[in-house]
């Protein structure tokens, strides 16, 4: 009997091994790996990492002007932008000339939330941020504008070509993540940055959020045959989720604007935080307008509508200061922006509530 038991066990093991081999080798029932194959990642992404480094240097320079009395010249800012110029949408590059001039003019001065453009007013620092005479933060117009007009646009152009290992690696680097997918911008080693950092903040780390979905699409794209329809489909899905994560972040900032300005008498710090969050909204939306229309979900007309609601139309005039000077009359416009984004992207009410939270901070993810 003991010999029969051994024979039975051996047969069961053989069946299990055979079944496992069938799952791995059968092309009609492929098994997607659970990890991203990073082979060749460093070599393929040298250009993208250089771009990331140059972007980091640019933003660090712009942030120095948040300090009272610190002046930046147009030449200094333009010099920091120069290495990025070949990757920036030409139409957005012309907008950057205006933003650079506005930031340089505002730097070194002091701004009052009650002021309006006119005379010699050039803006200045207020509550730890630098605003132009309209109360708009040029740092965000440059920084967050490049998220769409440079990083996302570049990734979209790559995806429009044949999808292979190198192109997938490059898209991952432009997204701001890495093969380890830490799902946090607080990791001590290789943290998420750029769009990936914001995407992580919108993800509850339960395997269902947009960061988790993007990770699965990147793994699928990498495991599929090069140039295959499956690889292409996964790459395109990455872009759709990437865009949704950015717009979910715009929604997050609308909550901040309304929350900080809804008090009967907001403090200066609350107003400054609201103005900063507002600048993030306008910066992201403006940059997305320079993504080629076929490469994005939101239409040009819809972006223009949102910017108009925010009193920051693309080519002016900017009257955004009215939002925090007269919140009772204008916060409804911010609510409308949020509702329009929910409609455009089909976010559920549950998702909208979730977007209020920075889940990386709330969960203390390292």
- Each residue's pLDDT, cut to its tens digit, for the chain (366 residues) gives 444 444 444 444 333 333 333 333 333 434 557 899 999 999 999 999 999 999 999 999 999 999 999 999 999 999 999 999 999 989 999 999 999 999 999 999 999 999 889 866 679 999 999 999 999 999 999 999 999 999 999 999 999 998 999 999 999 999 999 999 999 999 999 999 999 999 999 999 999 999 999 999 999 999 999 999 999 999 999 999 999 999 999 999 999 999 999 988 899 999 999 999 999 999 999 999 999 999 999 999 999 999 999 999 998 899 999 999 999 999 999 999 999 999 999 999 999 999 999 999 999 999
Position 118 scores a pLDDT of 81
**Could you give the CA distance from residue 140 to residue 59 in angstroms, rounded to a whole number?**
9
Rounded to 5 degrees, φ, ψ at 111 are -115, 140
Position 32 scores a pLDDT of 59
Q: With contact defined as beta carbons under 8 Å apart, do 351 and 338 qualify?
A: no
CA 284 to chain centre: 8
Q: With contact defined as beta carbons under 8 Å apart, do 100 and 81 qualify?
A: yes
**Could you give the CA distance from residue 229 to residue 235 in angstroms, rounded to a whole number?**
10
**Could you give the CA distance from residue 252 to residue 111 in angstroms, rounded to a whole number?**
26
Residues 6+ away with beta carbon under 8 Å from 53: none
CA 141 to chain centre: 13
**DSSP class per residue in 208-241:** -SHHHHHHHHHHHHHHSPTT-HHHHHHHHHHHHH
SS3 129: strand
DSSP structural state of residue 326: S
**Could you give the CA distance from residue 244 to residue 248 in angstroms, rounded to a whole number?**
6
């Amino acid at each position: 009997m003991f010999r029969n038991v051994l024979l039975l066990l051996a047969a069961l093991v053989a069946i299990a091994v055979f079944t496992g081999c069938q799952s791995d080798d059968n092309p009609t029932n492929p098994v997607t790996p659970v990890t991203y194959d990073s082979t060749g990642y460093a070599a393929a992404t040298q250009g993208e990492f250089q771009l990331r480094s140059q972007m980091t240097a640019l933003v660090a320079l712009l942030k120095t002007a948040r300090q009272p009395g610190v002046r930046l010249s147009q030449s200094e800012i333009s010099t920091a932008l120069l290495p990025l110029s070949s990757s920036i949408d030409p139409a957005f590059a012309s907008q950057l000339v205006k933003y650079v001039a506005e930031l340089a003019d505002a730097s070194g001065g002091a701004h009052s939330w009650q002021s309006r453009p006119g005379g010699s007013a050039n803006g200045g620092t207020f509550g730890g941020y630098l605003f132009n005479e309209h109360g708009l933060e040029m740092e965000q117009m440059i920084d967050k504008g490049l998220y769409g007009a440079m990083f996302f646009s570049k990734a979209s152009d790559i995806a429009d070509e044949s999808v292979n290992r190198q192109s997938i690696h490059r898209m991952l680097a432009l997204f701001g993540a890495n093969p380890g997918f830490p799902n946090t911008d607080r990791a001590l080693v290789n943290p998420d940055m750029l769009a990936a950092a914001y995407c992580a903040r919108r993800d509850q780390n339960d395997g269902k959020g947009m960061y988790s979905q993007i990770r699965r699409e990147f793994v699928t794209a990498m495991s599929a045959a090069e140039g295959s329809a499956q690889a292409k489909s996964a790459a395109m899905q990455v872009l759709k989720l990437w865009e949704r994560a950015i717009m979910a972040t715009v929604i997050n900032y609308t909550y901040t604007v309304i929350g900080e300005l809804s008090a009967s008498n907001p403090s200066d710090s609350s107003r400054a935080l609201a103005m900063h969050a507002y600048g993030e909204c306008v910066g992201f939306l403006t940059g997305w307008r320079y993504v080629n229309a076929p490469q994005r979900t939101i239409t040009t007309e819809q972006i223009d509508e949102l910017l108009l609601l925010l009193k920051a139309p693309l080519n002016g005039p900017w009257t955004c200061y009215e939002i925090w000077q007269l919140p009772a009359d204008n916060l409804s416009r911010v609510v409308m922006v949020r509702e329009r984004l929910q409609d455009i992207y089909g976010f559920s009410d549950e998702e909208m509530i979730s977007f209020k939270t920075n889940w990386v901070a709330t969960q203390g993810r390292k």
